[in-house]
Amino acid sequence: MQHALNTVAVVGAGLVGSGWALVFARGGASVRLFDASESIRAGALARLRTMLEDMRGAGLVEAVEPVLARITVCATLAEAVGDADYIQESVLERVEVKQAACADIDAAMRDDAIVGSSSSGIPASAFTAGLPKRGRFLVAHPVNPPHLVPLVELVPAPWTDPAIIPALRAAMEGWGQAPIEVKGEIEGFILNRLQGALLNEAWALYEAGLASAADIDRTVSQGLGLRWAFMGPFETIDLNAPGGIADYSARLAPLYHNIALSRRDPKPWSQEAIRSAEAELRETLPADRLQARTDWRNRRLMALVAHLRAQPK
């Protein structure tokens, strides 16, 4: 499939859509940004400038103006997507909202354009089934914020043109992202299923009174997460036994099997546990400081990304 993705439209200019706009513009694409909210459109370039200033401070972009100059805020969806080679849909995570947005995109896009949805768990087949150009749609799920965390899950619907995946994967690599292919539709895809397994166990341990929320968080931030910042679970265990992954499995597979058996009747996160965790977290982080802490998180992510980029491959 010979399809250069030089002009990109982003539909939805919230947190995820804004991050995507920076990904594409930083990668050299001409970006056309649209949001149905006039107030969001009006403030988009100022928000993007602030984000870019932070990135420049962390050494993740050399200059703000050349990146910002590649982004145009459009007054209508048709203006944004009409000439686009690639369209990133980033509207609210609800089936009916995505159905409506994708129908509008389908009507305004070129026949050969590609449309990726930022859906974090809803498969593309749930909101593209009735579209005339449904073969051009798939999920391209980022991690928030996408301009700092490079993973992108590419998940085709059963009718997605198979030539799209390698073309979009190569384009994402060129834009500085780290794409993976999910080889079939599954609820939650890969990232949220892995995250969900950890979250479900964290809640079960917390509800059982075995550790505080802060200490469970510390177990990840000061333990598992340090390795996971640069290697995944298979490589982690491959390096954690003298004989590699087979040796590790021989030693510890029975333990993990017993742990799995102990959770054979999973329960929903209880409202009592959620209230308790909320109270604990708000003691150390009042609600009016959540945005400041999010900004702190993003600065830490920038520093980590800059460090990882500086390391030998």
Q: Is residue 81 part of a domain?
A: yes
Where residue 4 falls among pLDDT bands split at 50, 70, 90? Answer: confident
Instruction: Indicate if 163 and 244 belong to the same structural domain.
Output: no
Looking at residue 303, which CATH number applies to its domain? 1.10.1040.10
Instruction: Indicate if 42 and 175 belong to the same structural domain.
Output: yes
Domain boundary among 126, 155, 181: 181
> Averaged over 88-116, what is the pLDDT?
97
**Of 125, 119, 46, residue with least CA distance to 89:** 119
Residue 37's domain spans which residues? 7-181
Q: What span, in angstroms and rounded, lies between the C-alpha atoms of 227 and 303? A: 16
Domain boundary among 122, 146, 181: 181
> Averaged over 291-302, what is the pLDDT?
94
Q: Is residue 142 part of a domain?
A: yes
Q: What is the 3-state secondary structure (H, E, C) of 166-184?
A: HHHHHHHHHCCCEEEECCC
CB burial string 4-31: b at 16+ within 10 A, e below: ebebbbbbbbbebbbbbbbbbbbbebbb
Q: Is residue 186 part of a domain?
A: no
Q: What span, in angstroms and rounded, lies between the C-alpha atoms of 164 and 112? A: 10
Where residue 179 falls among pLDDT bands split at 50, 70, 90? Answer: very high
Is pTM beyond 0.75? Reply is yes
Looking at residue 47, which CATH number applies to its domain? 3.40.50.720
Where residue 3 falls among pLDDT bands split at 50, 70, 90? Answer: low
